Amino acid sequence: MPEGDSVWRAAARLHAALAGREITRSDLRTPRLATVDLTGRTTLDVTPRGKHLLARISGDGGLTLHSHLRMDGAWHVFTADETWHGGPAYEIRAILGTAGHTAVGYRLPVLELLRTADEDRVVGHLGPDLLGPDWDAAKAAANLLAAPERPLGEALLDQRNLAGIGNVYKAELCFLAGVTPWTPVGGLPDPDTTAVRLATAAHRLLRANTGAREARNTTGIRRRGQALFVYGRAHRPCLRCGTPVRQAPQDDRPTYWCPRCQSGPTP
């Protein structure tokens, strides 16, 4: 699943290829946008907002092509002589081309065109963006604490609290906090302080993973199979204590925890 760091990298690639350049090819393959032609316009910038991508385009007072990757969507950028890859042709939902590059969106579950002035309609509900200029750890912590009975894992995934965390970082942050994902936010040790520390750690981890490397790392260990503390490590030894990591669903998503390093309720 793409998370905030993945979306940030995708936005950086799209911005480098499209920003300031005239659109010479436009093909939006969704019923509502099938007749839209953006050729002749200029891409002004491509900005990430949490897990959302906003490609701002000139004309008509400013337009924004909004996309969301959800579980397996992806944007790829190709030069003129490259063969496209990323999936079969029938999975392509968007093509934006310039003289030098072509951006191709595969399996995009959300693709819409709106006025830039109306962006709040699609991203205005989001909490502080972990990788954005509006990042505010105190505000994010206050959002988490607003529902003290809510399980921490659910609260971290709620983009209205803080924008950018997905299932991987949810599991890793709960491990770093030493509590299970089912621990109520109000049941955290010293909730006010811990919530701020969690928000700060989330910002630090996502920022550390915005570099060129696509492999996500939270442990600081570069050896194969040891990049994450618990996510994806069901039945394998915890990297800290050696206890087998456990797995169970939370909100229909697999979540992971170490029964020795993490205290609190479990399914």
Active-site residue, selected from the candidate residues 9, 49, 51, 170: 51
Q: What is the DSSP letter of 128?
A: -
DSSP-derived 3-state class of residue 94: strand
91 noted as active-site residue: no
Give the whole-angstrom CA distance, residue 186 versus residue 263: 14
Give the whole-angstrom CA distance, residue 201 versus residue 195: 10
Assess contact for 23 and 57: CB atoms under 8 A: yes
Give the whole-angstrom CA distance, residue 58 versus residue 133: 23
DSSP bridge partners of 115: 63
**What residue has token string 């906090």?**
177
Computed from CA positions of residues 228, 229, 235, 240, in that sequence, does the dihedral angle turn out positive or negative?
A: positive
139 noted as active-site residue: no
DSSP bridge partners of 55: 46, 65
3 noted as active-site residue: yes
Phi and psi at 22, nearest 5°, equal -75, 140
Active-site residue, selected from the candidate residues 32, 253, 260, 265: 253
Please give the radius of gyration of the chain, using alpha carbons only, rounded to the nearest integer: 20
Assess contact for 204 and 176: CB atoms under 8 A: no
Give the whole-angstrom CA distance, residue 229 versus residue 102: 37
**What residue has token string 């989001």?**
126
Give the whole-angstrom CA distance, residue 77 versus residue 164: 22
172 noted as active-site residue: no
Catalytic residues: 2-3, 51, 253
